[in-house]
Each structure stands twice: as C-alpha cells, then as structure tokens.
Amino acid sequence: MKPPPFRYHDPRSLDEALDLLASHENAKLLAGGQSLMPMLNMRFAQPDHVIDINGIDDLAYIRETASGIEIGAMTRQHDLEVSQLLQRRCPVMIEALHQVGHRPTRNRGTIGGSLCHLDPAAELPLVAAALDVTIHVKSRRGARSMPMAAFPAFYMTPSIEPDEMVTSIDFQPWSEGHGYAFVEFARRHGDFAIVAAAALLEVSADGAVTRASATLGGVGPAPLRCEGVENALVGNRGSATLFREAAEANRAIDAMDDVHASVVYRQNLAVELTSRALGKAFERASERSSS
C-alpha cells in the first residue's frame, strides 16, 4: 500500500508544467491527490512521471468576469464551499460540495481534479453538466475549449489528450433568485452518491417555469441531462403533481448495475430524487424572488 517509484516534477509555472507534459511519456498530473494518491498507494496507477501542479499559484481563483464566473482548475473544494460569490450566484455548487467527501479531503481536493477523475457518481461533474459549463484546456500545441456535454469520453475518462491540462472552467450563472437543489442518496454522509440529482429553475411571478435544468449523476458513466423532464416543465405552472409527472420520464433511463444498486433501484431513485430536487428548487425560487 505504498506508491510505486516515479520521477517527481515540481513545476512553478503553467508553461513549465505544459513543457513537462509534452516531453514525458506516461506522466500524471498531481492536483489535490485525493483520487490519484489512493490509486498510487493501491498501485492501480503506475506513472513514470508525476507532475505536481500544486506549486503553480495562478491556477487557483474564483472570479466574476464580463461573461460569467470563472474558476481555476486548482481551486480547492473547500475554498469553493466558502465562496461568497458562489453562495450568491451559484448556490447549487455549494450544496453539492457539502457532500463531496469530508472536510480534510475538500481541503486538498480541487475542482479540476474532480472533473478529470470523472467518477460516475461524483458531485462536481454533475453540477458542471447542470450549469453547462465550458472547460478550458491547454497544451504546448495551444488552447481549446469544450462544453461539459462533450467532456466525458467514456467511463472515468475525459476527452483530453495526454499532453493537455484543464486550466479553468467558466459558466453563465442563472438569474438572481433562481431555484436550485442538489439531493443525493449515499450510504453514509460524504460517500460517493449512488444516485444524485440537481435541479435549477427560473420561475415567473405567476409561478410558471420559464427555464429548467434537470441532471442526474450515478446512473451511467457520465452525468445525464434529462431533456425529457426539462421539456415537460417549461411553460407550465410549478406544482408537486407537475414535478412528479415530469420526473416519471426518468423511469426509462438506461442505468448501470453494480454492487451498490440494481438497474431498477437506480431508476426508482432517479425518479424520486428528481422529483424532490424539482420541488425543493421551486420552493426556493419562490422564496428567493419574494425576499
């Protein structure tokens, strides 16, 4: 249960890190280490080179830009959790972060690491999908961006090349007073979810849903945007019946089966959690717009 031998690199700038990535085969970036270190200790990962990006200062930030909110890849999960800006403009991320591991793992774990590790049940990729974030990637060959929907390639694998690194994400926050909720079912607080659901709603003064995002995690290899549910909501007045009926569309999703839960159990959770998330988001939209 100790890491295999590797060469350790400690770059001080992004350029230096990208040079190292471009010139070394079988290299792994070390961000918060909360997934990579267990994999090294258990020797599931055996890289020849470990490139530690903790010494690069300008990769950790949360800022408001003309086009929205931008977050650096190395921003620690705990720093996101206590951000006033996110609390005000993107509270769904905060609600999700409370359920990501434990305080000591959030002190080290980063947003970039969580997105790149891409565990099917991880909370942050799910929130990224719900918000339609854009992911910014750099390499010696240049910079490119892609929507979250195109980021997962397959199971636990993002569509980035070995010489590329995620540097930041950005997104357009929803309107002030939007409703939000993140709910999950896990065996124990802080464990990966078996199924998790995020909901975002914009609601007009007369209670009609004008914009909706419904997303599931833990059902397949990548977060799943539930367009059927979203379409059934927009234009209708929010009510418990509407949310329950709309969430029923999730009973037919293609869910995975593992030691934690069967396909049918996950489908049931997908319906129940979506319905609860929508109800909670709607309640909050009404509260936030009336206050």
Partner 1 sequence: MTINGTLHEGDVETRLLLADFLRHQADLTGTHLGCEHGVCGACTVLVDDRAVRSCLMLAVQANGRSVTTVEGLSPDGETLHPLQQAFHDNHGLQCGFCTPGILMTLLEFLKENPDPSETEVREALSGNLCRCTGYQGIVDAALAAAASLRDARETKA
Ligand X SMILES: Cc1cc2nc3c(=O)[nH]c(=O)nc-3n(C[C@@H](O)[C@H](O)[C@H](O)COP(=O)(O)OP(=O)(O)OC[C@H]3O[C@@H](n4cnc5c(N)ncnc54)[C@H](O)[C@@H]3O)c2cc1C
Name the nearest CA neighbour of 69 among 81, 54, 85. Answer: 85
As measured in angstroms, the least distance from the Cβ of 49 to partner 1 is 11
Tell me if 114 contacts ligand X by CB under 6 A. Answer: yes
If phi > 0 it is left, if psi is from -120 to 50 it is alpha, else beta; for residue 64 that is: beta
Task: Kindly write down the DSSP assignment for every residue of 129-182, as one continuous string.
Answer: HHTT-EEEEEETTEEEEEEGGGSEEETTEES--TT-EEEEEEE-PPPTT-EEEE
Tell me if 123 contacts ligand X by CB under 6 A. Answer: yes
3-state secondary structure of 65: strand
Q: In the set 12, 15, 23, 38, which binds partner 1 (CB under 8 A)? A: 38
As measured in angstroms, the least distance from the Cβ of 91 to ligand X is 18
As measured in angstroms, the least distance from the Cβ of 35 to ligand X is 4
Name the nearest CA neighbour of 28 among 163, 119, 184, 149. Answer: 163
Asked if residues 219 and 122 have their Cβ atoms less than 8 Å apart, the reply is no
Contact flags string 9-48 toward ligand X, x per CB under 6 A = -------------------xxxxxxxxx-x----------
Contacts of 4 (CB under 8 A, 6+ apart): 40, 43, 46
Measured at the alpha carbon of residue 274, what is the angle toward residues 206 and 281, in degrees to the nearest 5? 35
Stretch that binds partner 1, among 155-163, 187-195, 203-211, 245-253 (CB under 8 A): 187-195
Nearer to ligand X among residue 116 and residue 195 (C-beta) = 116
Tell me if 165 contacts ligand X by CB under 6 A. Answer: yes
Given ligand X, partner 1, none, residue 209, with its beta carbon under 5 to 8 Å by kind, binds none
Given partner 1, ligand X, none, residue 232, with its beta carbon under 5 to 8 Å by kind, binds none
As measured in angstroms, the least distance from the Cβ of 278 to ligand X is 23
Instruction: Give the span between the Cα atoms of 278 and 240, in whole angstroms.
Output: 9
Given partner 1, ligand X, none, residue 112, with its beta carbon under 5 to 8 Å by kind, binds ligand X
C-beta pairs of 155-158 under 8 Å, 24+ apart in sequence: 155/120, 155/221, 156/117, 156/118, 156/119, 156/120, 156/221, 157/118, 158/115, 158/116, 158/118
Tell me if 279 contacts partner 1 by CB under 8 A. Answer: no
Nearer to ligand X among residue 16 and residue 119 (C-beta) = 119
Tell me if 116 contacts ligand X by CB under 6 A. Answer: yes
Tell me if 8 contacts partner 1 by CB under 8 A. Answer: yes
Cα dist from 212 to 21, 42, 70, 285, whole Å: 40, 42, 22, 12
Tell me if 101 contacts ligand X by CB under 6 A. Answer: yes
Binding site residues, ligand X, CB under 6 A = 28-36, 38, 73, 100-101, 105, 109-110, 112-114, 116-117, 119, 122-124, 165-166, 190-192
Binding site residues, partner 1, CB under 8 A = 1-8, 10, 33-34, 37-38, 40-42, 50, 52, 54, 78, 101-105, 107-108, 188-190
